[in-house]
Structure 1
Amino acid sequence: MEHDFANKSAPRSWKVGTSFSLANPIDLVAVKEAGLECIELTWQPLRLSDRDVRLACDEVVNKARELGIELWSLHIPFGTEWDPSSPDAAVRERVVSQVRAVLSSADAWNIRTAVIHPSWEPVPAEERSRRLEFARQTLGVLSREAAELGVKLAAECLPRTCLGRSADEMDYLLADNPELGVCCDVNHLFQEPPQQFIERLGGRIVTTHISDNDGTDEKHWMPGEGIIAWDEVIEALAKTGYRGPIVHEVRKPDPFRLAENWRKVLKS
């Protein structure tokens, strides 16, 4: 994909936020006081009933709204029973039904972006092409249904044997699915440098997961603690006109440390 970069954005204008998990909740008051502006809501790895999820999320949603924190995105659960690439047609049908219910909740909470994993793992090499096609079909159905609700579905790039681990594979998943966006998780990209992935996919990137790694596997470290070239990542996002938020997805997030660290990353 070629870009003329005429629509370059300003990194200092990007909202800064963090993932918020019901499994390891952080203090929303601290999120607000630290100057973070948005959160991504998730309950992974908890296995909660629909009623439990709804009640717990309602509390978070209401508290965030009281504090003026934007509920930017929702992370759809992932795992074997949530795998849109499953070779089992019955599983894929259940995935559509389950994700449909989550999208309905996102709509009710006025969360307008939903992040989904294109697969679970491992994906055997001999099944890869077939599984990519299953994922493309399932994500197409779900992204169209999400769009009808006013929700943007974003496929997350993933590491190791998962699907969507490269720009080539993400391009394949996006083909014929104009409603589908991309969640660029820079911590998951090992087939090519994150900045190359970003420049290739350009305007299809609608949200981010931000953390660092050691160059061999995902680590969810604070940006700057690993090997990612953040100046090049930020420049690539800016060149392609990215205007979504910087959503940190680090282990044991401290809102004040996140905010201060991102300021340092921008200065450097």
Structure 2
Amino acid sequence: MLRVLSTHLFLNQRLHPGLLELAARSGAQAVEIFAARQHFDYTQREDVRELCEWFRSNELQAFSMHAPMFPDREMGRAGAPSVNVIHPEKSRRIDSMDEIKRALEAAEQIPFKNLIVHLGEREDSWSQRTIDYAMTALEHLGAFASALGVRVLVENLTNDVTTPEHLMLILELGHLDNIGVCLDLGHANMTVGIPEAITTLSKRIVSLHVHDNHGLKDEHLWPGDGTINWKATTERLNTLAAPPAAVLEIGYTLGDQPAAIPDRIRAAYNRLELI
């Protein structure tokens, strides 16, 4: 498995080369860049160019980018609407697609190969409408991303739209053969369970979001700090035909001391027997 660190861990800081160097020193082979404007402003040429130049001269890979969840620098706290490509209002869907495409354009300089996309928010429900909007969004984003050499990966959330069974139905009904899945283990632990999620999504899984929780809240804890059975999870993952990339996606509000972060990252990869 490719060891990947999501920059979600540093979401309250501007993404700069020093943080990428910390990831490399911690045993990560690649990073997933979290596209939030206060962290990485994908609309600013200077910010994009800075990362582009760093990746050119370093071994750490840019594996993926997480699509933006809000179009502002406050993660919606100031009232900005969320990025939701299946929103009932057409104008919201269009604005959301435009925001994701702005982030995707960074692939012209930063060589990431995958884009992680959310379908909806917590309250979005399963219906023919959401099926249609989801298929349309993924088809459109898939075509736009493909021209940039990027593959779209859709993530299982905790809403009814993105259960493993429903995700597979969307992908199969839409004949979206070029769309993969990012299996979020923490979200699976809160919903159908990790074993069922792996079984249902197996042939589509390209990457994992690795974090822990207690089954009720999306806590983004370090592996081992929640209730996920990591030994059983690793054994089940080893049955997949191709090993997915393991993207460590830890919460930025946990308050870890900077000096302790490299050891915690290495311990997390060891828990999945990746080293």
Alignment of 1:40-79 (within 5 A): 40-44=32-36, 46=38, 51-52=43-44, 54-79=45-70
State how many pairs are aligned. Answer: 249
Tell me, in whole angstroms, the C-alpha distance in 2 between the residues paired with 1:62 and 1:162: 41
Going from structure 1 to structure 2, the CA distance change for 1:107 and 1:203 (only over 3 Å counts) comes to farther
How far apart are 1:168 and its partner, in Å?
A: 1.2
Which residue number corresponds to residue 248 of structure 2?
248
TM-score, structure 1 as length reference: 0.83
Which residue number corresponds to residue 269 of structure 2?
262
Q: Residues 115-162 of structure 1: CA distance to partner in whole angstroms, max 9, x if unpaired? A: 111112422x4x744223212221122112222322110011112x36
How far apart are 1:96 and its partner, in Å?
A: 2.7
Which residue number corresponds to residue 174 of structure 1?
171
Tell me, in whole angstroms, the C-alpha distance in 1 between the residues paired with 2:181 and 2:204: 6
Which residue number corresponds to residue 93 of structure 1?
94
Q: Residues 61-81 of structure 1: CA distance to partner in whole angstroms, max 9, x if unpaired? A: 432443310000011101444
Q: Find out whether 1:133 has 2:122 as its counterpart.
A: no
Which residue number corresponds to residue 7 of structure 2?
20
* AA of the residue aligned to 1:155: V
- Aligned-residue CA RMSD (Å): 2.4
Tell me, in whole angstroms, the C-alpha distance in 2 between the residues paired with 1:256 and 1:84: 38
Going from structure 1 to structure 2, the CA distance change for 1:133 and 1:64 (only over 3 Å counts) comes to same
Which residue number corresponds to residue 184 of structure 1?
183
Asked if structure 2 preserves the Cα contact closer than 8 Å seen for 1:167 and 1:200, the reply is: yes
Which residue number corresponds to residue 115 of structure 1?
116
Going from structure 1 to structure 2, the CA distance change for 1:42 and 1:58 (only over 3 Å counts) comes to farther
TM-score, structure 2 as length reference: 0.81
Tell me, in whole angstroms, the C-alpha distance in 1 between the residues paired with 2:123 and 2:271: 37
Gaps of at least 5 residues in structure 1 are 1-13
Going from structure 1 to structure 2, the CA distance change for 1:247 and 1:49 (only over 3 Å counts) comes to closer
* AA of the residue aligned to 2:129: R
Runs of 4+ off more than 3 Å: 47-51
* AA of the residue aligned to 1:260: A
* AA of the residue aligned to 1:168: E
* AA of the residue aligned to 2:95: R
* AA of the residue aligned to 2:168: D
Going from structure 1 to structure 2, the CA distance change for 1:61 and 1:220 (only over 3 Å counts) comes to farther
Tell me, in whole angstroms, the C-alpha distance in 1 between the residues paired with 2:7 and 2:106: 17
Which residue number corresponds to residue 161 of structure 2?
163
Q: Residues 175-225 of structure 1: CA distance to partner in whole angstroms, max 9, x if unpaired? A: 221111111111112331112211211121111110001011211011111
Question: SS state of the match for residue 93, structure 2?
Answer: helix
* AA of the residue aligned to 1:167: P
Identity %: 21
* AA of the residue aligned to 1:71: A
**More RCO (CA 8 Å, sep 6+):** 1
Asked if structure 2 preserves the Cα contact closer than 8 Å seen for 1:106 and 1:114, the reply is: no
Alignment of 1:226-241 (within 5 A): 226-241=226-241
Which residue number corresponds to residue 218 of structure 1?
218
Question: SS state of the match for residue 72, structure 1?
Answer: strand
Asked if structure 1 preserves the Cα contact closer than 8 Å seen for 2:220 and 2:249, the reply is: yes
